[in-house]
Structures are given as structure tokens and as C-alpha cells.
Amino acid sequence: MSFKITKMIDLDSIDFLVDVEAPEVAERFHPGQFVMLMTRVEGERIPMSVMKVEDGTISMFIRKLGKTSKELRDGMTSFENVIGPLGHGIEEKVYGNIVVVSDAVCGHAENYAICEALGKIEGNHLTSIQTFASKKEIYPDEYLTKSIADRHFITTEDGSFGDEGSYITTIKRLLDNGVKIDYVFGGGKLPTMKAISTILAINNIDNLFTTRQMMVDGSGMCGACRVYLDGEMKLACVDGPMFDSRKINWTRAMKRYGMFKKEEKKANDYYEAHKGGCGQCQK
């Protein structure tokens, strides 16, 4: 199988946008869902968020880290597999005053997809808050939620633009100013999600956050993405990927990320040594 890459552009120094033709996935996609990407036959099944679907094409934000993104940068023109959509989409209905937050590549994609879908529904008022590392890392306007949200805020971790810190700073400010928030959607970095879950609990605000974990098959078979909701085991792939952040055991969820650090480096080194050019293998 082959899925053609139709567009690839830099969003900032570490993320890029990739458009790929995947009509069947595009036709059935709902915001909140994710896809599994295999760059090549020998590839890993990598869970990815979708920013937008249009005319049989899906747009994704991909981080320029690891081997996969190196392959992309080195001129990959198609993917072996785009599988999905997987997981549950959000309910597309009237929520009232909605805040959508994100502070990492996948989160920004989800933020866009959610704003676009819920903005079309009368009765929803959308505030979107996006966090970047610094001013120079802010995505180009057309890939921000600026044009599709009713209100848009940018925060930077170093304070070089907008509020300083994560989206939490802005949410706190809104709450302090007496803004009524009916529902929060979000995704991105785990520590920020852990921190905001407490604020949402104190203020009793309903919410859904993407708790996507390490996955292998993405269909409930491997159990790698297990998370604990009020002590009960759930699988992010089939029960989620979005859950009420107040119920998640974030400390448990955050610990799962060290497992393949060694292997990631090995994969990178192997790729660098085998991508062609050095001539060692011809000897």
C-alpha cells in the first residue's frame, strides 16, 4: 500500500506539517480521533493526531525528532500505511463557553480539529490557547487556531510573546476575571495536563484531555496504553484517547515514557549510518 505525501512544510524549528492522501480515513474522521502511521513496511505503528481533513487528504503535525522525521526530511514521498480513524471522537454538540488548550505538536493539531468542528455549531463560544517555547517557535498564522476560534491566546514558555508560561497562566487569568468556562478540551505535554487537572477539579469544570500513551496496535490488543481512571484500568486506544483529566492518575501515566529511550537512540544511529552516502557497505 502507499499513501502519497502531497505537502510538507516547516511549522517551526522542530515541527512540520504533512499532508497525505488517505480518502477512506478522511471520510470517517471525527475530531478527537487519531490515526496510526507506518512510514515503511519495516516501520513502527506510530499514533498521530490529525489537524484537518479536506478532499480526501489529512493534515498532521509531526515533530522533527526521532528516525521517522529524519526519513521525512530525507525525501520520503509516501507512507506505507495510514490506518484509522481510531479511538472515540468528541461529541459534536453545544457545550457553551469552551476553552481549547495545547502546548505540543499533537495537541496543536487536536486543538485545530476541535475548534473547527465545534465552531460550526451555534451556541458554542470558543477560546483557544496555544503554548509555544518562544516567540520564534510560534507556527505560521494559518496553522494556528486564530481564524477559527472566537478568541485566541498565545503563551510562550520563556515569556517572549503573550502570557509567560503554559496555557495554565491564561486559564487562571480568565477564571480570576470571572469568565465562565463550561468545558475544556486539551492535549500536549503530560506535566501540564497533570497541573491543569487540579485547577479543573477545584473549579469543577468538565473536560476531556488527550491521554494518548505509547501504543503498538492501537486497537486494544497490546495493553501498552493502559491508564488508570479512578483506579480502573482503561486503554487509551479504545476507551479514549480523551478522558476527564480529573480522573486520570497522571503520575502513573507520566512514568511510561522512559521505556524505549535507549532503543530510540539506537534507531537514530542506525538510520544515520545506513541512509546512504558513506559507501562503507559497498566495500
Partner 1 sequence: MPKIKPRVPMGEQPPLQRIKNFKSVPYGYTEEEAAEEAARCIQCKKPKCEPACPVNIGIKEMNLLIAEKKFEEAYLLVKQDNMFPACSGRVCPQENQCEGDCILKKFDEPVAIGKLEAFIADWGQAHKIDVENTIVNNEDKHVAIVGSGPAGLACASECRKYGYAVTIYETLHKAGGVLQYGIPEFRLPKDIVDEEVRKLEDMGVKIVLNHTVGQNIYFYELTSQNDAVFLAMGAGAPKFMGIQGENPLDGVYSSNEFLIRANLMKAYKFPEWDTPIDVGETVAVIGAGNVAMDSARTALRLGAKEVHIIYRRTKEYAPAREEELHHALEEGIIFHELVNPIRFHGNDQGFIDYMELIKMELVEKKDGRLSPQPIEGSNFYLGVDTVIEALGTVPNRLFLDRAPEIKRDKKGVIIVDENHMTSVEGTFAGGDAASGAATVIKALGEGKRAAKSIHAYISMQNK
In which region does residue 111 sit, left (phi positive, over 0), alpha (psi from -120 to 50) or beta (all else)?
A: alpha
Give the DSSP letter of residue 127: E
Instruction: Provide φ and ψ at 235, rounded to 5°.
Output: -105, 125
Residue 87 burial (10 A CB sphere; 0-12, 13-18, 19+):
buried
Does residue 278 interact with partner 1 by CB under 8 A? no
| Choice between 42 and 142, CB closer to partner 1 | 42
> Which position among 12, 44, 92, 157 is part of the footprint of partner 1 (CB under 8 A)?
44
87 contacts 81 by C-beta, under 8 angstroms:
no
| Choice between 200 and 237, CB closer to partner 1 | 237
Site string for partner 1, 245-274 (x = CB under 8 A): ------xx--xx-xxx-xxx-xx-xxx---
In which region does residue 277 sit, left (phi positive, over 0), alpha (psi from -120 to 50) or beta (all else)?
A: left
Site string for partner 1, 4-33 (x = CB under 8 A): --------------------xx--x-----
> Which position among 20, 86, 90, 149 is part of the footprint of partner 1 (CB under 8 A)?
86
Does residue 67 interact with partner 1 by CB under 8 A? yes
Residues between 190 and 229 that touch partner 1 (CB under 8 A): 216-217, 219-224, 226, 228
251 contacts 195 by C-beta, under 8 angstroms:
no
Does residue 43 interact with partner 1 by CB under 8 A? yes
Residue 127 burial (10 A CB sphere; 0-12, 13-18, 19+):
buried
In the complex, the residues that contact partner 1 under the rule CB under 8 A are 1, 24-25, 28, 38-40, 42-45, 67-68, 81, 83-86, 216-217, 219-224, 226, 228, 233, 238, 251-252, 255-256, 258-260, 262-264, 266-267, 269-271
